């Protein structure tokens, strides 16, 4: 598994998915999430690890083990069905518009935050006009 991950540019697990991956590769330990993220990224050689922790935060560890954390705005969540997919899509859009990593994370967090305020998967996907 480790060998295959070195070809991944962006890995974006949520907290449950990350816990599963980490435990299956390294076993369990008492390290803080930040330390686990750095170890995982360093040893798997994933270029960018982005951990989505729902309403708590999004943390990215880049290829030099720099860490960026974005805290989502406080909102009233209605349906989180598409939040992860919206985050990933918005992040890709931001990168394609040549936004830097931190701004791309903030854009994606904002999009995912908007999406959870609406019911349903497709109807919850925000349009770019929502950011104007």
> Can you tell me the distance from the alpha carbon of 61 to that of 71, in angstroms, rounded to the nearest whole number?
15
* 3 state DSSP class of 28: coil
> Can you tell me the distance from the alpha carbon of 42 to that of 54, in angstroms, rounded to the nearest whole number?
24
Per the annotation, the verdict on 79 as an active-site residue is no
Name the strands in the sheet holding 48-52, side by side, starting at the edge strand that comes first in the sequence. 10-11, 48-52, 58-61, 67-70
Angle between helices 101-115 and 83-96 (to 10 degrees): 150
Q: Which of 62, 79, 85, 103 is catalytic?
A: 85
Cα 32 to chain centroid distance, Å, stands at 17
Residue 10: what are its φ and ψ, rounded to 5°?
-135, 120
Catalytic positions: 85
């Amino acid at each position: 598994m480790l060998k295959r991950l070195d070809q991944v540019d962006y890995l974006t697990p949520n907290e449950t998915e990350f816990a599963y991956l980490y435990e299956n590769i390294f076993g369990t330990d008492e390290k803080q999430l930040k330390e686990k993220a750095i170890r995982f990224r360093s040893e798997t050689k994933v270029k960018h690890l982005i951990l989505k922790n729902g309403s708590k935060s999004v943390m990215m560890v880049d290829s030099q083990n720099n860490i960026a954390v974005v805290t989502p705005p406080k909102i009233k969540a209605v349906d989180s069905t598409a939040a992860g997919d919206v985050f990933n899509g918005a992040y890709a859009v931001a990168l394609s518009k040549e936004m830097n990593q931190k701004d791309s994370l903030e854009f994606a967090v904002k999009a995912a935050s908007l999406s959870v305020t609406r019911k349903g998967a497709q109807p919850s996907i925000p349009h770019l006009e929502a950011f104007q």
